[in-house]
Structure 1
């Protein structure tokens, strides 16, 4: 059990090879191993060929069709096939990460600024390299809106550059803020109700009704976890559309 949020970063030796050398691991490493195992099992079930025979298979097909329609509507039918595997993989990774973070004593990857902003920065750099490789110097026409008067071009180019560069942080920061705020809300309300119900018999009776509210908020957070993964995919798909189509 974890008694402090910092316990998940504590390096714990599992076995000693020598007196000064040990094989160590953190809770975050175990979390990554769990997520990778879930992803492996998930895609093995996708390749099993029995998707339509179970409710789980129907749910996977629904997610597949949803992401395919999203990428097709953003990039068009001819270009969506190249980037759909990436979008589908990112959606599933964020979905599993958000849902796993709702488990007690788990690790909320989306709430860690270093991890999620690092992922956001890597995706932004990938979009930038993609745009430059496809269009060369014409990629910079993205920063000059069509029909702009010549006198306003320097100002608009500066604004567009700042807006484009802010995507490197805003893509992950938005997700992190939503997940972190929900977890903090559940933590604060849960601690308050626990203290109230543990004070006396009257406090225990008065805490039953607020507990139903906490349960409702927890269920809402599961929905938000799913929705934020979809919003993350929409924003990433829109950014890739700008790199591919320049508009």
Structure 2
């Protein structure tokens, strides 16, 4: 086991290895304990703790945790219902709710200074969006067979423009495999970098003299406001990921 020391907030974007396993026969690198696997477990554990606090059957009257869980579930149900509609939307609420809660908790944990930000792991977050894209494409093909490809031909398109519009729609549809996760990673990464840069600038400015130290107290208030804004963005990004997934799911179900 190696000791890991984090000396800079920017190091929260690096994947470090805590426990490395080796064997002369097998490649065991896939089961090494890294910051990524550690924080994935931390996110899952945090979700289970919150659910345990809210769904405690020993309580006669529901706790505030239960109210928060019910409000979250109700929000996701209404969002999925509004996006998909019909009578089958309830089948996909568990999927959207799981994605929302996981990304929300991961974003909030990543906001703690010197913690690992899971949403900034491009490989992980794009793997999720790519898996969803493949799954939704398979679902569309399963439900509609060859008719699914009519999704790439807008209604009322002149015959002469069909090849061009099919190419554009195909590129747009294929871009979903990356854009869904890349949007989340880019927003999270940019927010963390902004806080780090501003924090270092104010720290350097306040260290010049006693006068600049006093003056530097004013920008600190602005940094705290940005931190609060980043917490709000962390929640909004989880909701955006969920609502876009619901929108793409609607296209696979109803081809529009």
Distance 1:123 1:200 in 2: 54
> Taking structure 1 as reference, are residues 51 and 170 closer, same or farther at Cα in structure 2, changes over 3 Å only?
farther
The alignment yields a C-alpha RMSD, in angstroms, of 2.4
1:9 aligns with 2:12: no
- Please say if residues 51 and 57 of structure 1, whose CA atoms lie closer than 8 Å, have aligned partners that are also in contact: no
> Taking structure 1 as reference, are residues 83 and 11 closer, same or farther at Cα in structure 2, changes over 3 Å only?
same
Of residues 23, 43, 48 in structure 2, which corresponds to 1:40? 48
Alignment of 1:30-179 (within 5 A): 30-48=38-56, 53-179=62-188
Cα deviations across residues 55-112 of structure 1 (Å, max 9, x unaligned)? 2221211111110001111111411111010000000011011111101111111122
TM-score, with length taken from structure 2: 0.88
Q: Which runs of 4+ in 1 moved over 6 A?
A: 14-17
Shift, 1:117, TM fit: 1.2
Shift, 1:53, TM fit: 2.5
Cα deviations across residues 41-62 of structure 1 (Å, max 9, x unaligned)? 2333454356963222212111
Partner of 1:188: 197
5+ residue gaps, structure 1, are: none
Indicate the SS of the match to 1:146.
coil
5+ residue gaps, structure 2, are: none
Shift, 1:16, TM fit: 9.8
TM-score, with length taken from structure 1: 0.91
Indicate the SS of the match to 1:148.
coil
- Please say if residues 51 and 60 of structure 1, whose CA atoms lie closer than 8 Å, have aligned partners that are also in contact: no
Number of residue pairs the alignment of both structures matches: 245
Query: Which deviates further from its counterpart, 2-11 or 231-240?
Result: 2-11
Distance 1:131 1:180 in 2: 33
- Please say if residues 52 and 58 of structure 1, whose CA atoms lie closer than 8 Å, have aligned partners that are also in contact: no
Shift, 1:27, TM fit: 1.7
Query: Which deviates further from its counterpart, 145-154 or 39-48?
Result: 39-48
